[in-house]
Structure 1
Amino acid sequence: MFAANLPSVTATQVPTDAYLLDVREPDEWAAGHAPGAHHLPMMEIPARMSEIPTDGDVVVVCRSGGRSAQVVGYLMNNGWDNVRNLDGGMRDWAAAGQPMLSEDGQPARVI
């Protein structure tokens, strides 16, 4: 994995005005996600890259940081210079006590 060379932030370092890009699968998103996050599953990124801002802070998140690191690398290779990986993903987000919402009627959680 090439995460060591990628720009990253921790859950408590995410700027309040950042565009939070959640690349997890729909069931993971429904179980729990950050308020205001934008859901774009990893496999849809190539076809939907025009939806990802090229300015401002973009923080990419998955469950633990692996998939999001791949997406950050992919976007950087395609000209994005404003993307960072969320270290530890939603697991660390939840552990840091950051707010979460669910879409499935259950308490918000990371699956």
Structure 2
Amino acid sequence: MLPQVSPSQFDDWLAAHGTGPSRPVLLDVREPWEVAQAHVRGDGQADRFELRCIPMGEIPSRLQELDPDQPIACLCHHGARSMNVAVYLLNNGFENVANITGGIDAWSRERDAGVPRY
């Protein structure tokens, strides 16, 4: 079963998955123009997770850029694309994968009102 993590639960997810040898990854699977409009701001948390931006359509050809041993939380606009990517990762040998429910829109509402909504 694929874990669903709300933006308000992200710190708890990090605490549970950030104790290994490598930092967890927040994988933003939106298109570059979307990331330019609204993106996760580190706000001093850059040492707790690695932010990676790979559009959903490029995941299969760029899969080697991701480490199956790193915990990965997938993020998109509202949660559907990230859910698809998370399932794809699970089906391709990644074991520690979660979906950020509600996407960057929920991130803005629940976690960081400074992130623009679109």
5+ residue gaps, structure 2: 19-23, 43-50
Distance 1:51 1:110, change over 3 A: farther
Gap change, CA 1:59 and 1:34, over 3 Å in 2? same
Gaps of 5+ in 1: 101-107
TM-score (norm 1): 0.80
Does residue 109 (structure 1) correspond to residue 94 (structure 2)? The answer is no
**Structure 1 range deviating more: 68-77 or 11-20:** 11-20
Alignment of 1:6 with 2:6, yes or no, is no
Conserved in 2, the CA contact under 8 Å of 1:21 and 1:61?
Answer: yes
What is the TM-score of this pair, normalised by structure 2? 0.76
8 Å CA contact retained: 1:34, 1:99: no
Question: C-alpha displacement at 1:52, in angstroms?
Answer: 1.5
In the comparison of the two structures, how many residue pairs are matched?
A: 100
Q: Which one-letter code corresponds to 1:10 in the other structure?
A: S
Aligned to 1:105: none
**Residue identity opposite 2:4 in structure 1:** S
3-state SS of paired residue (2:26): strand
Q: Which amino acid aligns with 1:82?
A: N
Q: Deviations over 1:23-64 (max 9, x none)?
A: 001110001111352110000000001112222321000000
Runs of 4 or more off by more than 2 Å in structure 1? 97-100
How far 1:6 moved relative to its partner?
Answer: 2.2
Root mean square deviation of aligned Cα: 1.8
Aligned to 1:33: 39
SS at match of 1:43: helix
Moved more, 60-69 or 32-41: 32-41
The 8 Å contact of residues 63 and 89 in structure 1, kept in 2 or not, is answered as yes
Measure the CA separation in 1 of the matches of 2:103 and 2:65.
21
Q: % of aligned pairs identical?
A: 39
Q: Which residue is equivalent to 1:56?
A: 70
Instruction: Kindly indicate whether the alpha-carbon contact (under 8 Å) linking 1:11 and 1:98 is maintained by their aligned counterparts in 2.
Output: no
